[in-house]
Chain A
Amino acid sequence: MLRLNPVYQKELRTTARSLRTYVIIFAVNGLLSLFGLFALYLSFEYQQKIGNNVEYSAILEIYSIITGVEFFLLLLVVPAVTAGAISGEKERQTLEILLTTKLTPGSIIRGKLVASISMMLLLAFSSLPVIALVFSIGGITLRDLAEFLLLILETAIYLGSIGIFFSALLKKSTSATVAAYGTVLLLCLGTFGAVWGIHFLDQMHLNHAGDTVTAIQADIGNWMLLLLVNPIVTYLSILKGQASTGRTLASLYEKYGNLPEVLNEHWLLFSTVIQIVIAVILLLSAAAILNPLKGNKERIKHKKQNTKKKVANK
């Protein structure tokens, strides 16, 4: 029989009883509904009022708006949910007890992460009726929706691992939350800023060096790869092929430089793989931080080797 992680089971039970869970679900779906209905109003009622006609090609923007808002709320909620996962145990003084049980630091981390992801999936599924608004218009398939849900899952793991890493590293939930939000901000806006800054410097350099009248566009080349860790760019890349917003992403690339064709074609794949690898590294690091006896095996091995050497010398 499949045995659930005990920490996950316990988290599910306490989360289900917590008022905070219901407040988050209500707030997220409330905001999503507001944006969805407002977008619908703008697309139909308002357009008709000002132009006496409805531009149906623009209605697909509703999908981008609703999923965009949901994705933005995900960026806001995941660090808050995960940053207290381990530090909360430290603050409650329950972590030491857990570490003296049969549970390994890795299984504690897994339980916490899966519980956080479950919360995100619950949010995603509870918002399906709002997302279903777009089906009333057409143009979006069930496959598109499934892809979006997978992206939600991947981003929850990615951002969740950041929250859990800081939660394991720092003693206080407040510090862990600040660090997690700071890192998410750095990934989302910092990478854009870095790409813009490098491009700006390159452009200045070119302008200064060039003596021709024709303006040469700077190409920052591999620095563009920084954007692979940016979850917003990954989200934009999924819209490519789903809604027409994909063009925005392509124009973003072109403005700063040229990427290899394979990367352009499979940005979603590359970025999700890199983000999952980062998540795995962060989770393994968090487990190592929690292990009270880390490095002990090496010390014992070293000690045994020394003893053997001494015996052999004698």
Chain B
Amino acid sequence: MLTINNLTKKFGKYTALNNLNLNIREREIYGFVGPNGAGKTTTMKICAGLLKADSGEVWVDGVSALENNKELKKKIGYMPDFFGVYDNLKAIEYMEFYASIYGINGKGARKLCMELLDTVQLKEQYESYVDTMSRGMKQRLCLARCLVHGPKLLILDEPASGLDPRARVLMKDILKRLSGEGKTILISSHILPELVQVCTHAGIIEKGKLVISGSMEEITSARGNSRPLVLKMVDNQETIIRIIKENPYTRKITILDNVVTLLFSGKEEDEAALLGSIIQAGGVISSFSREESSLETLFLQITHEEET
């Protein structure tokens, strides 16, 4: 659905995107993660036809985003990170305004707009003035506006920013439903645990390059041996710590009360050997496992590595 090949964008001397490559298939909900200034919004703006690229290619459902802006606009629905609404317009009028842009007028427009307001759970508020709505409602209204012309690809830049937990859960449910209806969604967010819950795929961008990309399972299982080992000591703590320190795969050790967290570069069999030697030496532990991997820890690891 969305293919980006060697996309490069510079702002003066600053390189925002450096030969970025990305491929998103139909019906995927792709989480686009990266620190501030990594190039997420720039990528999204280029995909939405709002920014020129210096080089590279962007294809949306077989249409070149850089060469055929008119066709691109039919394929995408874009929701920017910051957006405003018009004063003195009701929710239904706001929707009908965008419907009229696509030549949908009269009763047909009213029916479609009411359906879309229902999709984003704003049907009851159709007569409310937009400027009196809460931020969460405005976000959902903007999402409904994106859907008015039936786009195949939704580009959502931080759609959940500034929302309270309840509104975020609602937004998440709506996105899942839209994906179920056949939409492909590219979504950027800083709220990583929620991306994990909603996305089928994800990619981490850093300094204009995609560092890692794949399904959520692939992403969270990546760099398995770089996840820290966590041990909970019950007895004979000094012996346990000595054995850990003597192990050639131990890189860094942190001890907090009876919990030892260590960066361990060995493989599974090396982990087993370490556990065996601790037990043989009379060490008593109640737990021994790798720290659970998450998009958040991976994101922090990757961005930290890039920084160092």
A97 to B84, CA, bound (A): 9
Do A10 and B82 touch across chains, with their CB atoms under 8 A apart? no
A6 to B104, CA, bound (A): 11
Distance (whole angstroms) from the CB of B157 to the closest CB of chain A: 10
B278 within 8 A of A: no
Mask, A4-29, CB within 8 Å of B = 1, is 00100110011001100000000000
Mask, A62-102, CB within 8 Å of B = 1, is 00000000000000000000000000000111101101111
A99 to B101, CA, bound (A): 11
Q: Interface range on chain B: under 10, 10 to 19, 20 to 34, or 35 or more? A: 20 to 34
A97 to B49, CA, bound (A): 11
Mask, A88-131, CB within 8 Å of B = 1, is 00011110110111110000000000000000000000000000
Subset of 15 A-B contacts with CB under 8 Å? A6-B97, A14-B86, A14-B89, A17-B88, A92-B84, A93-B84, A94-B84, A94-B86, A96-B78, A100-B73, A102-B101, A102-B102, A103-B101, A292-B52, A300-B66
A10 to B94, CA, bound (A): 9
B67 within 8 A of A: yes
Q: Which residues of A contact B149 (CB under 8 A)?
A: 101-102
B76 within 8 A of A: yes
A296 partner, pick from B66, B78, B84, beta carbons under 8 A: B66
Q: Given contact pairs A10-B86, A97-B83, A293-B52, enumerate 18 new A-B contacts (beta carbons under 8 Å).
A: A3-B105, A9-B100, A10-B97, A13-B89, A14-B86, A14-B87, A14-B89, A93-B80, A94-B83, A97-B78, A99-B49, A100-B50, A101-B73, A102-B101, A103-B101, A292-B50, A296-B66, A300-B67
Mask, B24-37, CB within 8 Å of A = 1, is 00000000000000
Residue of chain B at shortest CB distance from A294? B52
Main secondary structure of the interface of A (DSSP, over half): helix
Tally of A-B Cβ pairs under 8 angstroms: 75
A103 to B87, CA, bound (A): 21
A4 to B149, CA, bound (A): 19
Mask, B125-151, CB within 8 Å of A = 1, is 000000000000000001001000100
A295 within 8 A of B: yes
A299 partner, pick from B52, B76, B145, beta carbons under 8 A: B52
Please list the residues of chain B having a beta carbon within 8 angstroms of any beta carbon in chain A: 48-52, 66-67, 69-70, 73-74, 76, 78, 80, 82-89, 93, 97-98, 100-103, 105, 142, 145, 149
A13 to B90, CA, bound (A): 11
Do B52 and A96 touch across chains, with their CB atoms under 8 A apart? no
Residue of chain A at shortest CB distance from B99? A6
Q: Which residues of B contact A295 (CB under 8 A)?
A: 52
Residue of chain B at shortest CB distance from A301? B67
Q: Given A94-B83, A102-B149, decide whether A10 and B89 contact each other with a Cβ distance below 8 A.
A: yes
Distance (whole angstroms) from the CB of B221 to the closest CB of chain A: 36
Q: Which residues of A contact B51 (CB under 8 A)?
A: 292
Do A93 and B82 touch across chains, with their CB atoms under 8 A apart? yes
Do B102 and A101 touch across chains, with their CB atoms under 8 A apart? yes
Residue of chain A at shortest CB distance from B148? A101
Distance (whole angstroms) from the CB of A168 to the closest CB of chain B: 16
Do B97 and A293 touch across chains, with their CB atoms under 8 A apart? no
Which among B70, B82, B105 has the highest number of chain A CB atoms within 10 Å?
A: B105
Distance (whole angstroms) from the CB of A314 to the closest CB of chain B: 20
Q: Which residues of A contact B80 (CB under 8 A)?
A: 93, 96-97
